[in-house]
């Protein structure tokens, strides 16, 4: 398969999974009108360090799970959330992530992500809804290794009101490997 086709396939997969994350609402909130244990309902399957495994009940008795962590400011105020999901093996990305930030984020500054202070990357925002603004990330195998062995990642966003004062949001990597493995097992992948 050519690299252009792999890129398109990866984007399609990430878009579909990002839509699943966003359509289920912030933090996989309970679907209105759905029974607490019925199709479309969500639940926390397990917790591993700083990460939760959150799952959505699917038609036919299955479930689709992802990793979740709420990102807080230094004062403990919740600001954003990070959702990591598995993708089909053999793709250019080893996993995907969706980061949801507040509506008053300066989109042109993009979202920054570093792991343990190493040089990071910037990611464009894809869209905004009333829940917030979405940045979609493909996590390469090398980045996944750094997440697994790391201590802390840092998500950086720029508020519209104070563009000269970026906000850094700590992402604890405590329990990342156990959570990733549990998510993969829950999804029946790899």
Please state the pTM of the whole predicted model: 0.80
- Confidence band, pLDDT 50/70/90 cuts, at residue 18: very low
Among 35-39, 75-79, 143-147, the range scoring the smallest mean pLDDT is 35-39
H or E element, residue 146: helix 141-149
92-136: per-residue pLDDT in tens?
A: 899 999 999 999 999 999 999 999 999 999 999 999 999 999 999
Region label for 98, one of left (φ > 0), alpha (ψ between -120 and 50) or beta (otherwise): beta
Among 27-31, 53-57, 115-119, 121-125, the range scoring the smallest mean pLDDT is 27-31
Q: Region 180-186: what's the mean pLDDT? A: 96
Query: Which residue segment(s) compose the domain that 129 sits in?
Result: 3-186
Contact between residue 42 and residue 55 where contact means Cβ atoms under 8 Å apart: yes
Q: What is the pLDDT of residue 188?
A: 86
- Confidence band, pLDDT 50/70/90 cuts, at residue 189: low
Q: Is the pLDDT of residue 2 over 60?
A: no
CA distances from 52 to 116, 121, 182 (A): 21, 25, 10
d(C-alpha 42, C-alpha 65), whole Å:
9
Domain count, the chain: 1
Contact between residue 172 and residue 152 where contact means Cβ atoms under 8 Å apart: yes
- Confidence band, pLDDT 50/70/90 cuts, at residue 187: very high
Q: What is the CATH number of the domain that holds 73?
A: 2.60.40.1880
Q: What is the pLDDT of residue 162?
A: 96
């Amino acid at each position: 398969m050519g690299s252009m086709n792999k890129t398109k396939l990866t984007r399609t997969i990430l878009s579909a999974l990002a839509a699943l994350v966003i359509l289920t609402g912030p933090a996989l909130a309970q679907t209105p009108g759905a029974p607490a244990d019925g199709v479309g309902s969500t639940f926390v399957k397990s917790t591993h360090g700083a990460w939760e495994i959150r799952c959505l009940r699917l038609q036919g008795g299955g479930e689709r799970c992802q990793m979740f962590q709420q990102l807080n400011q230094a004062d403990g105020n919740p600001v954003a959330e990070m959702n990591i999901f598995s993708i089909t093996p053999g793709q250019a990305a080893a996993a995907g992530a969706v980061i949801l930030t507040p509506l008053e984020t300066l989109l042109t500054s993009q979202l920054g992500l570093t792991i343990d202070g190493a040089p990071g990357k910037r990611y464009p925002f894809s869209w905004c809804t009333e829940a917030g603004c979405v940045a979609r990330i493909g996590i390469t195998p090398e980045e996944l290794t750094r997440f697994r062995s790391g201590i802390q990642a840092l998500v950086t966003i720029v508020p519209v009101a104070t563009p000269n004062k970026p906000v850094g949001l700590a992402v604890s990597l405590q329990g990342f490997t156990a959570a990733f493995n549990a998510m993969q097992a829950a999804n029946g992948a790899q």
